[in-house]
């Protein structure tokens, strides 16, 4: 390799990673025992809660067009949200003056509000016959009504998706957790997509959870950790990337950063899509959702006491500024003063 090519290789390499320096990880900020519920829907009643959700229209993905058609493409019944994929020959939609037509219609709903760090969780039962592509996911970024059509950068986190897309390549359909990183020209090639498979039997209901912090993503299936993806890494002595746990981050070390790690506020999405590149999808099919929640972190309380108490001392309680209805006690109480 000549000097010019070596220089080009080095420039390309460092355009794909960035150095990040953080102060030590503060577990109080990301303690999963201290959260507040910001979003919740258990799909009671007979109507979709339109104060919480938007129904996607005039858009398509895979081989389907999303249509706001209550009772056909979606419904709320017996405490469950039903998202349906059905036949509808030559149903068309137009985006950016481009018209596309498919032979199937289906439904996708997205939360009205944007969320970011916290705990996302839901219980669902996906349709899994030929051609089904349901998902419980999250997306956000500039112009990200859908990541594929944004004008800037966008993040996508698939908490769980089941996809028949892979049939074209001779693989079995899989349930996956997936991270996508979208740029102006589509999905970026470097760290543009990473994924981990989950072992799931869709004859049964399952609960999926994501813990999302600035340091890591942790994906759970039915309460069991299935994938832990850190944001930061080092190059170890063998020249390999080695992910760094949040607890081991310190302010004196420079780390590399996975550029595909999500960075945006985003919306929660529930979808029943029809997979592309699959001949003769089976219809109708229905995915069902029992409940969905999002919990936001707040600062875990901390009590600071003197190291040595001779006759009396003062303890300090530090809590989140948004905390209310605070009660606490120290023992033995006779050794502490109360200051109001």
My answer on whether 103 and 29 are in the same domain is yes
My answer on whether 286 and 308 are in the same domain is no
Q: Which of 225, 221, 231 is nearest to 194 (CA)?
A: 231
d(CA 129, CA 96): 33
d(CA 196, CA 176): 6
- Report the pLDDT value the prediction gives residue 142, as an integer from 0 to 100: 62
- Report the pLDDT value the prediction gives residue 220, as an integer from 0 to 100: 96
My answer on whether 317 and 179 are in the same domain is no
Secondary structure of residue 109 in the 3-state scheme: strand
Does residue 268 lie in a domain region? yes
- Report the pLDDT value the prediction gives residue 147, as an integer from 0 to 100: 43
My answer on whether 118 and 195 are in the same domain is yes
Does residue 258 lie in a domain region? yes
- Report the pLDDT value the prediction gives residue 229, as an integer from 0 to 100: 92
Does residue 272 lie in a domain region? yes
My answer on whether 178 and 319 are in the same domain is no
d(CA 247, CA 34): 18
Count of structural domains, the chain: 2
Last residue of a domain, one of 279, 297, 315: 297
Positive or negative: CA dihedral 104, 110, 116, 118: negative
d(CA 284, CA 242): 46
- Report the pLDDT value the prediction gives residue 209, as an integer from 0 to 100: 98
If phi > 0 it is left, if psi is from -120 to 50 it is alpha, else beta; for residue 170 that is left
My answer on whether 125 and 56 are in the same domain is yes
> For every one of its 340 residues, what pLDDT tens digit does the chain have, with 9 covering 90 and above?
443 333 333 232 333 344 445 567 888 999 999 999 999 999 999 999 999 999 999 888 899 999 999 999 999 999 999 999 999 998 888 877 888 899 999 999 999 999 999 999 999 999 999 999 999 999 987 644 444 444 457 889 999 999 876 555 555 677 899 998 876 666 665 445 778 888 889 999 999 999 999 999 999 999 999 999 999 999 988 989 889 888 888 878 888 888 778 888 999 999 999 998 788 899 999 999 999 999 999 998 888 877 776 666 777 888 888 877 777 777 777 766 655 5
Does residue 7 lie in a domain region? no
My answer on whether 103 and 233 are in the same domain is yes
- 292 backbone dihedrals φ, ψ, rounded to 5°: -140, 135
My answer on whether 280 and 316 are in the same domain is no
My answer on whether 230 and 247 are in the same domain is yes
Does residue 5 lie in a domain region? no
Kindly state the tokens that stand for 262.
């999500």
Instruction: DSSP letter for 189, please.
Output: S
- 113 backbone dihedrals φ, ψ, rounded to 5°: -95, 160
Range(s) of the domain holding residue 333: 301-340
CATH number of the domain where residue 277 is located: 2.60.120.200
- Report the pLDDT value the prediction gives residue 7, as an integer from 0 to 100: 31
Is the previous residue joined to 90 through a cis bond, with omega within 30 degrees of 0? no
Does residue 4 lie in a domain region? no
Give the H/E segment covering residue 3. helix 3-15
What's the Cα-to-Cα distance from 310 to each of 261, 313, 314, 333, 335, rounded to whole Å?
51, 8, 12, 14, 8
Which residues have C-beta within 8 Å of that of residue 331, sequence separation ≥ 6? none
């Amino acid at each position: 390799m000549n000097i010019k090519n070596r220089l080009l290789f080095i420039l390309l390499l460092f355009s794909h990673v960035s150095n990040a320096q953080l102060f030590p990880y503060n577990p109080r900020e990301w303690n999963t025992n201290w959260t507040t519920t910001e979003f919740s829907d258990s799909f009671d009643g007979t109507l979709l809660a339109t104060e919480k959700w938007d129904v996607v229209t005039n858009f398509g993905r895979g081989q389907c067009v999303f249509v706001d058609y209550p009772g056909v493409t979606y419904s709320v019944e017996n405490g469950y949200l039903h998202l349906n994929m059905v036949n509808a020959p030559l149903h068309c939609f137009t985006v950016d003056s481009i018209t596309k037509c498919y032979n199937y219609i289906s439904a996708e709903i997205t939360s009205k509000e944007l969320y970011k760090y916290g705990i996302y969780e839901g219980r669902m039962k996906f349709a899994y016959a030929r051609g089904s592509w349901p998902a419980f996911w999250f997306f956000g970024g500039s112009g990200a009504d859908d990541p594929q059509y944004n004008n800037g950068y966008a993040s996508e986190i698939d908490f769980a998706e089941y996809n028949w897309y892979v049939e074209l390549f001779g693989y079995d359909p899989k349930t996956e957790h997936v991270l996508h990183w979208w740029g102006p020209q589509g999905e970026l090639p470097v760290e543009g997509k990473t994924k981990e498979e989950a072992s799931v039997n869709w004859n049964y209901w399952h609960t999926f959870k994501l813990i999302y912090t600035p340091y890591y993503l942790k994906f759970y299936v039915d309460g069991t950790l299935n994938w832990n993806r850190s944001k930061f890494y080092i190059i170890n002595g063998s020249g390999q990337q080695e992910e760094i746990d949040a607890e081991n981050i310190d302010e004196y070390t420079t780390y590399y950063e996975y550029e595909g790690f999500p960075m945006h506020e985003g919306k929660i999405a529930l979808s029943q899509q029809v997979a592309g590149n699959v001949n003769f999808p089976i219809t109708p099919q229905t995915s069902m959702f029992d409940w969905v929640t999002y919990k936001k972190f707040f600062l875990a309380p901390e009590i600071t006491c003197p190291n040595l108490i001779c006759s009396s001392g003062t303890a300090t309680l530090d809590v989140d500024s948004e905390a209310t209805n605070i009660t606490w006690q120290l023992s033995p109480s006779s050794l502490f003063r109360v200051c109001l």
